Amino acid sequence: MDYNFLKIERRESITILTISSPKTLNALNSTILREIDDCVSNLDASTRVLIITGDGEKAFVAGADISEMAHLDEAGGTQFGKLGAAVFRKIETLAIPVIAAVNGFALGGGCELAMACDIRICSNNAKFGQPEVGLGIIPGFSGTYRLAKLVGQGMAKEMIYTGRAIRADEALRIGLVNAVYEPGELLDRALEMADRMLKNAPLAIQYAKDCIAESYDLSADDAIAYENVMFGKCFASRDQKEGMAAFLEKRKATFTGE
Ligand code: CO8
């Protein structure tokens, strides 16, 4: 599929997906959502880390496209919300790590997209917020769920009820992002983080991601039991043999993802 609003770049085992709709600050309309869906559904098997960012230095994604939503009725709103939520869930449940490199405004659906990624880093001009109630709607791409999980209910409620956008330093303080960088170095730092992941066993990372996701809604006992099963499974992998042999032989491991 040719994309009108995405730029896709490969750097060895890393795929960089750049959302590019500069006239509307990369706002997400249904065409862009479908393009993202297609891209993440058809990632090359050799992709081991996905980086998502926005085009330009002003915006990651300034939200869902307000001009498209303005004329929706209840059924249309439900459908649009479902589309975005399904695409973001697909991103969240990819077997590989996904890093959001947030290079400016991440408002509404933009903040929700960043939150569907495993890890968020941002530029020092980034702004995060859920301004939906000012438009007469609520976060509709799973923001009420993920924001509360990420920063706690109190902060999520304040951000959602007031619609107040927060700057990068506050996003860092509340744990919404892991690190803040100069705009010009953001992508390099994302690539550096991805490179560190690439040095490790892919299957082990996938299992770890799976455990963290599963344990979200489980009791402590069930989460610990689930981790134990996945821990055991690691020992059935070639990478476990290789990783431990390499350590004992004082050499670098060569992982194959098997
Ligand atoms: N949708 C459509 N167009 C947008 C959007 C958007 N979200 N954001 C910016 N644009 C457009 C502007 O209309 C403008 O277009 P034009 O040049 O034709 O006038 C262009 O982008 C540039 O924007 P500004 O001139 O406003 O740029 P500023 O630097 O003055 O301001 C802001 C930047 C602060 C980002 C401002 O553009 C803004 O407030 N944008 C809207 C932010 C917002 O409210 N986002 C949340 C949208 S709602 C949402 O995301 C809900 C998600 C769940 C959906 C559930 C579905 C049912």
Residue 108 C-alpha to ligand 1 middle, in angstroms?
A: 9
Percent of the chain with pLDDT over 70: 100
State how far the alpha carbon of 212 is from the alpha carbons of 181, 185, 208, 216, 224, in Å: 26, 29, 6, 7, 10
Whether residue 228 sits in one domain with residue 113: no
Whether residue 181 sits in one domain with residue 53: yes
Whether residue 191 sits in one domain with residue 206: no
173-227 pLDDT, tens digit each: 999 999 999 999 999 999 999 999 999 999 999 999 999 999 988 999 999 999 9
Whether residue 129 sits in one domain with residue 143: yes
Whether residue 220 sits in one domain with residue 132: no
Q: Which pLDDT value is given to residue 216?
A: 85
CATH number at residue 145: 3.90.226.10
141-155 pLDDT, tens digit each: 999 999 999 999 999
Query: Coil, strand or helix: which one is 185?
Result: helix
The verdict on residue 256 lying in a domain is no
Q: Which pLDDT value is given to residue 107?
A: 98
User: The pTM is what?
Assistant: 0.97
Count of structural domains, the chain: 2
Whether residue 107 sits in one domain with residue 219: no
Going by C-alpha positions, the residue among 72, 184, 84, 81 that lies closest to residue 124 is: 184
Is 112 in the active site? Answer: yes
Whether residue 221 sits in one domain with residue 242: yes
Q: Decide if pLDDT at 1 tops 90.
A: no
CATH number at residue 237: 1.10.12.10
Structural domain of 212: 202-248
Whether residue 159 sits in one domain with residue 58: yes
Ligand 1 atom 55: residue of nearest CA: 140
Full 3-state SS string of 69-121:
HCCCCHHHHHHHHHHHHHHHHHHHCCCCCEEEEECCEEECHHHHHHHHCCEEE
The verdict on residue 257 lying in a domain is no
18-42 pLDDT, tens digit each: 999 999 999 999 999 999 999 999 9
The verdict on residue 214 lying in a domain is yes
Q: Which pLDDT value is given to residue 175?
A: 98
Percent of the chain with pLDDT over 90: 98
Whether residue 113 sits in one domain with residue 215: no
Q: Decide if pLDDT at 136 tops 90.
A: yes
Whether residue 206 sits in one domain with residue 184: no
231-246 pLDDT, tens digit each: 999 999 999 999 999 9
Residue 24 C-alpha to ligand 1 middle, in angstroms?
A: 6
Whether residue 114 sits in one domain with residue 190: yes
Residue 70 C-alpha to ligand 1 middle, in angstroms?
A: 12
DSSP code string of 193-208: HHHHHHTS-HHHHHHH
Q: What is the chain's mean pLDDT, rounded?
A: 97
The verdict on residue 206 lying in a domain is yes
Separation between Cα atoms, residue 116 and residue 143, nearest integer Å: 9
Separation between Cα atoms, residue 31 and residue 245, nearest integer Å: 49
> CB under 6 Å to ligand 1: residues?
24-25, 27, 62-67, 69, 77, 80-81, 84, 105, 107-109, 131-132, 135, 139-141
Q: Which pLDDT value is given to residue 89?
A: 98
